[in-house]
Amino acid sequence: MIPKADEPFHFFSRLSLNVMTGIKAGNLRELLEHLKAVPESVIYQQTHRFLQQHQFLVPEPPNDFAYWVTHMLQDEKLGECLAAIDTVRFNSLEELRQALVSAIEKHLAKTNHSRPAPEGKEFHFMSAIRFSVPTPYFARDLAEFASCLKKVSISSLYLHVFEAKLRPPLGVNDFSHWFRTQLGETKLAKQVERLDPYTQTLEGLRSKILGLAQSRLEELSRAAA
Amino acid sequence: MPRLEEYRGIVGPDTLEELHLLARALDGKTVLHINSTAMGGGVAEILSRMVPFLQELGIHTRWEVIKGGEAFYAVTKKFHNALHGDDQGVTSRDYQIYEDTLDENLSMMDLGADMLFIHDPQPAALVKKRREMDGRWIWRCHIDLSQPSPQVWDFLKPYVEQYDASVFSAPAFAQKLPIPQFLIPPSIDPLSDKNRDLAPEEITLVLERLRIPTDKPLVTQVSRFDRLKDPLGVIEAFHKVRSYADARLLLVGGPADDDPESSLVMEEARERAKGDPDILILCLPPTSHIEINAIQRASAVILQKSIREGFGLTVTEALWKGKPVIASAVGGISLQITHKYSGMLTHSIDGTAHALKQLLSEPEYGRWLGGNGKEHIRQNFLLTRHLRDYLLLFLFLSHGQSDFIHLPDQPAAANP
């Protein structure tokens, strides 16, 4: 018997429109200074933009700061350090900001010099207007969930996996929350939570979640037989 | 003209579904695009596809072109160059010609719409009528504004500040403005005559008709004959490669109604190429979309050696065709090419020559670059993404301009 949810899972999409703040940094010290002061929406955009824009560009690092430091300031050591900051570990943007700030401060304390970016290659701080768009997809059980997950856009996956972790209940993606609270599927919820969404493409993530849901469906149908 | 449904196989069903969801939220809104030319150049080309698609999505959309004489276009060309950093001395009479021409246009145009999209500096001052109208005004700047001439920008800025929002093609073009500045890169239409797949025999027919020999690899730059596209620099780079690789250079451009300098620049290029049978300079009419498509597809390497560039749609077109592209690291080109991953970015004639030599000697490397470039364009620079960003911008302007916008829910129903 496949468990049915009291509250169906309604898939939404997250779309965003890039906003230019007009703030730019020409060296590491300026980057640090602005990084401390810009709104959280800027931190979010610069650490998540690549996820939606570079689905096939595997060499891209997981945040814009690492890319700029590596390629424009030619500081590979700090670039690697910034790229290795484990975005998935942080439950708030403020914590993520502090990790970035701390990495740069430590580096500056050791090197004490701030190489300028070439002319025209300054770091431009960006923000975004975010839109929450309801889709026509609703799931009342795991079978419907799998069927919907095949059809929704990657923007929907992005919203329910990435953004969900940054709002209550903190650190939990929407899918796992629904599996646990509506279907009683604790093991499946944990399996999805364990996936690191920052180190794979959204399409890769979709097929992994689908695979987990389908395996569980097969178990349930075997148990019912 | 294809319908949106025909893009399903290229962009996926979810992308089309999103467009319909957004358009439904804009139900009943009207849009007016205004620019300075109906044909020639990237803006006219985008609008010729964008307007019918907005209409298909149920957004009532019009497109108007301002009218101006030779003197007006000579002034706006000066503006264009000055905003790209090349100030050629704009006089007070020039400013007067600009103002008078736009006043004449204002007296003739119907500006009734919910969203007015004003493209580039030529029609920017139309915004002086804003207070008499209800609509939201958007200034869409397609040019590289990273180092504008202060004099011309100081003249235009008070107009730009009267808009509700501005839109630029690359982060480096952002200005200090009291209005929101959005980053919306332009796009290409993969099903247009310029970009759709062509059968090998169609390509051969076009090349035969244009008398382009195919006995040597073709190295091509497609762009207006404009000094900012550096056609003379392209010829020089090609000359530097000649002793290492046997190839033929094609400079392909055409006239545009709003660019009085183009015939002069083309003559300069012809003069520089004189006596070299391996340099062909083609001036094609603005409707030669299939011809451009065939030439790009027949080319071994595509160049875009611009000195300044708004976005560089010819780069987008070439990448979409899976071609290796060598382009200057200016304007929006850096958003399209990751150096040595999806193309080659260069900064000089010598750098361009070096990259060209490499790609002519290693065609397999070129194919790898082109393949990566094509996927990047599919994800980020096709017309459907552009349409989505415009719909989001309209929603932002009509939903109270907040940072976080929830669109109205839809009733629970059976899944489609």
Chain A, chain B: beta-carbon pairs less than 8 Å apart: 121
Residue A132, chain B, CB below 8 Å: the answer is: yes
Write b or e for each residue in A166-184: b if 16 or more Cβ atoms lie within 10 A of its Cβ, otherwise e: beeeeebbbbbbbbbbbbe
Restricting to A residues 50-109, those with a Cβ less than 8 Å away from any Cβ of B are: 53-57, 59-60
| Contact indicator for B282, B206 with CB cutoff of 8 Å | no
pLDDT at residue B344, rounded to an integer? 97
Q: Average pLDDT of B241-268?
A: 86
Please answer yes or no on whether A20 and B409 come within 8 Å at the CB atom. no
Q: Where in chain B is the domain with CATH 3.40.50.2000?
A: 4-187+382-398, 200-379
Distances from the Cα of B398 to the Cαs of A12, B26, B33, B78, B129, in angstroms? 21, 8, 17, 35, 20
B40-59 pLDDT per residue, tens: 777 888 899 899 999 999 99
Residue A151, chain B, CB below 8 Å: the answer is: yes
pLDDT at residue B337, rounded to an integer? 93
Q: Report the relative pairing of strands B136-140 and B181-183 from DSSP bridges.
A: unpaired
Q: Average pLDDT of B269-285?
A: 93
pLDDT at residue A225, rounded to an integer? 80
**Residue B281 pLDDT > 80, yes or no?**
yes
Q: Of A55, A59, A134, which has the smallest distance from its Cβ to B407's Cβ?
A: A134
Distances from the Cα of B274 to the Cαs of B10, B237, B247, B270, in angstroms? 43, 16, 17, 6
Element (H, E) at A202: helix A202-224
pLDDT at residue A181, rounded to an integer? 94
How far apart (Å, rounded) are the C-alpha atoms in residues B197 and B185? 23
B412 pLDDT tier (thresholds 50, 70, 90): very low
Average pLDDT of the residues of chain A:
87
Q: Of A10, A124, A156, which has the smallest distance from its Cβ to B174's Cβ?
A: A124
Q: Which residue of A has its CA nearest to B22?
A: A133
As its CATH architecture, domain B4-187+382-398 has 3-Layer(aba) Sandwich (3.40)
Q: What percent of chain A has pLDDT over 70?
A: 92
A73-92 pLDDT per residue, tens: 999 999 999 988 877 778 78
Please answer yes or no on whether B338 and A57 come within 8 Å at the CB atom. yes
Please answer yes or no on whether B412 and A134 come within 8 Å at the CB atom. no
Residues of B in contact with A134 (CB under 8 A): 21, 407-410
pLDDT at residue B158, rounded to an integer? 97
Q: Nearest CA to CA, how far is B397 from chain A (Å)?
A: 11
Q: Of B13, B146, B181, which has the smallest distance from its Cβ to A120's Cβ?
A: B146
Q: Average pLDDT of B89-103?
A: 95
Write down the number of H helices and E strands in chain B. 15, 13
Restricting to B residues 5-64, those with a Cβ less than 8 Å away from any Cβ of A are: 12-15, 17-18, 21-22, 25
| Contact indicator for A75, A60 with CB cutoff of 8 Å | no
**Residue A56 pLDDT > 60, yes or no?**
no
Q: Of B172, B380, B393, which has the smallest distance from its Cβ to A120's Cβ?
A: B172
Residues of A in contact with B416 (CB under 8 A): 136-137, 151
Please answer yes or no on whether A137 and B183 come within 8 Å at the CB atom. no
pLDDT at residue A61, rounded to an integer? 57
Residue A163, chain B, CB below 8 Å: the answer is: no
Around B31, how many Cα atoms within 13 Å sit in the side-chain half-sphere?
A: 28
How far apart (Å, rounded) are the C-alpha atoms in residues B76 and A41? 38
Please answer yes or no on whether B395 and A131 come within 8 Å at the CB atom. yes
**Residue A223 pLDDT > 50, yes or no?**
yes
CATH fold of B200-379? Rossmann fold (3.40.50)
**B210 φ/ψ angles, rounded to the nearest 5 degrees:** -90, 0
Residues of B in contact with A20 (CB under 8 A): 168, 171, 173-174, 181-183
Residues of A in contact with B173 (CB under 8 A): 20
Q: Average pLDDT of B219-248?
A: 94
A18 pLDDT tier (thresholds 50, 70, 90): very high
Residue of B175, B328, B336, B405 best to disrupt the A interface, most CBs of A under 10 A: B405
pLDDT at residue B369, rounded to an integer? 96
How far apart (Å, rounded) are the C-alpha atoms in residues A46 and A97? 11
pLDDT at residue A27, rounded to an integer? 95
Vertex B12, ends B9 and B17: CA angle to 5°?
Answer: 125
Please answer yes or no on whether A131 and B175 come within 8 Å at the CB atom. no
Restricting to B residues 141-180, those with a Cβ less than 8 Å away from any Cβ of A are: 146, 168, 171-177, 180
Average pLDDT of the residues of chain B:
92
Q: Of B174, B409, B413, which has the smallest distance from its Cβ to A22's Cβ?
A: B174
A58 pLDDT tier (thresholds 50, 70, 90): very low
**Residue A60 pLDDT > 70, yes or no?**
no
How far apart (Å, rounded) are the C-alpha atoms in residues B140 and B134? 19
Min mean pLDDT across A55-69, A197-211, B21-35, B384-398 is at: A55-69
How far apart (Å, rounded) are the C-alpha atoms in residues A93 and A209? 25
pLDDT at residue A52, rounded to an integer? 61
| Six-digit token string for B21 | 């969801």
Residue B343 DSSP class:
B
Residue of A9, A13, A16, A17 best to disrupt the B interface, most CBs of B under 10 A: A17
